[in-house]
Structure 1
Amino acid sequence: MERWDRVGRKAAYGAALALSPYLLIKVSWVIGSLVGVLPIGEGFGLAAWVALNTVTIGMAAIGIALALALVRPWGMRIPGALVALCSWVGSGFLVSVLPFLLVGALRSAGGDAGGDAVGGAGGGGDDPALPVWEGVLLEFSFVGMGLGLALAVPAYLRRRWPDAFAGRVGDGPRAVAPWAGVVGVVGGVIPGLVWLYWAAGGTLGIAHPAERNTDGYVLGAVWGFWALAGSVAIWTMARARPARLPRWIPLTFGWVGSGSLFAWSAWKLPLLLIVAMARPAGVTPPEDLTVALALHLCAVVAGAAMIRTLVRTRVGTRVGTGVGTPTRLA
Structure 2
Amino acid sequence: MERWDRVGRIAGYGAALALSPYLLIKVGWVVGSVAGVLPVGEGFTMAEWVVLNTVTVGMAAIGIALALALVRPWGMRIPGALVGFCAWVGSGFLVSVLPFAAVGGLLEEGGDDPALPVWEGVLIQFGFLGMGLGLAIAVPAYLRRRWPEAFAGRIGDGPRSALPWAAALGAAVGLVWLYWAAGGTAGIAHPAERIGAGYVLGAVGGFWAVAGAVAVWVVARTRPAGVPRWIPLVFGWVGSGSLFAWSGWKLPVTLYLALAGPAGVTPPENPAVAALLHLCAVVAGAGMLRTLVRSGSGSGSGSGSRKGKTAVHRGVGSLG
- Shorter-chain TM-score: what band? over 0.9
The alignment status of 1:227 with 2:229, answered yes or no, reads no
- Once residues 96 and 29 of structure 1 are traced to their aligned partners in structure 2, the CA distance between those partners, rounded to angstroms, is 24
| Structure 2 residue identity aligned to 1:103 | V
1:89-109 CA-partner distances (Å, limit 9, x unpaired): 0000002442222112x449x
Letter of the 2:213 partner, please give it: S
Q: What is the CA distance between 1:318 and its match in structure 2?
A: 6.2
The CA distance in 2 between the partners of 1:22 and 1:199, in whole Å, is: 28
Q: Distance in 2 between matches of 1:247 and 1:97?
A: 27
SS at structure 1 position matched to 2:296: coil
Equivalent-residue separation in structure 1 for 2:150 and 2:97 (angstroms): 25
- CA displacement at 1:325 relative to structure 2: 4.2
Post-superposition CA distance 1:272-327 (Å, at most 9, x none): 11101101111111111111001000000000001111112236436745668424
| Counterpart for residue 101 of structure 2 | 101
Could you tell me which of 167, 170, 195 is aligned with 1:185? 167
Question: 1:212 maps to what in 2?
Answer: 194
- Matched-pair contact (CA < 8 Å) for 2:187–2:273: yes
Please name the residue that 2:69 is paired with.
69
Q: SS state of the match for residue 153, structure 2?
A: coil
Are 2:16 and 1:16 equivalent residues in the alignment? yes
Q: More displaced, 280-289 or 316-325? A: 316-325
Q: CA–CA distance in 2 between the matches of 1:188 and 1:314?
A: 20
2:97–2:128 Cα contact (<8 Å) kept: no
> Which residue in 1 is equivalent to 2:53?
53
Q: Equivalent residue for 1:25?
A: 25
My pick for the range that moved more, 248-257 or 3-12, is 3-12
> How is 1:159-308 mapped onto 2 (pairs within 5 angstroms)?
159-171=145-157, 173-174=158-159, 177-179=161-163, 181-182=164-165, 184-308=166-290
2:23 partner SS: helix
Structure 1 counterpart of 2:254, one-letter code:
L
Q: TM-score, with normalisation over the residues of structure 2?
A: 0.93
**Cα pair 1:231 1:254 within 8 Å, conserved:** yes
Asked if the contact 2:161/2:295 (under 8 Å) is kept, the reply is: no
Find the aligned partners of 2:304 and 2:242 in 1 and give their Cα distance. Answer: 37
Residue aligning to 2:128: 142
Measured after TM superposition, the shift of residue 167 of structure 1 is 1.4
Aligned mates of 2:8, 2:199 — CA distance in 1: 32
User: How many Å separate the matches in 1 of 2:110 and 2:156?
Assistant: 45
CA distance in 2, matches of 1:321, 1:206: 52
Measure the CA separation in 1 of the matches of 2:285 and 2:304. Answer: 34
Closer, same or farther: CA 321–53 of 1 in aligned 2, 3 Å: closer
Give the gaps of 5 or more residues in structure 2: none
The separation in 1 between residues aligned to 2:6 and 2:96, in whole angstroms, is 23
| TM-score using structure 1 length | 0.90
Kindly, what percent of the aligned residue pairs are identical? 70
Q: Secondary structure at the match of 2:149?
A: helix
Give me the whole-angstrom Cα distance separating, in 2, the residues matched to 1:318 and 1:161: 17
One-letter amino acid matched to 2:34: L
Note closer, same or farther for the CA distance 1:68–1:302 as it changes in structure 2 (3 Å cut). Answer: same
Maintained 8 Å contact 1:95/1:150:
no
Q: Name whichever structure is richer in helix by fraction.
A: 2
* Residue 317 (1) aligns with residue 300 (2): yes
CA distance in 2 between counterparts of 1:275 and 1:322 reads: 50
Aligned-partner residue type, residue 118 of structure 2: V
RMSD over aligned CA atoms reads: 1.7
**Aligned pairs for 1:108-119 within 5 A:** 115=111
The residue that corresponds to 1:118 in the other structure is none
Q: Where in structure 1 are there 5+ consecutive unaligned residues?
A: 116-121
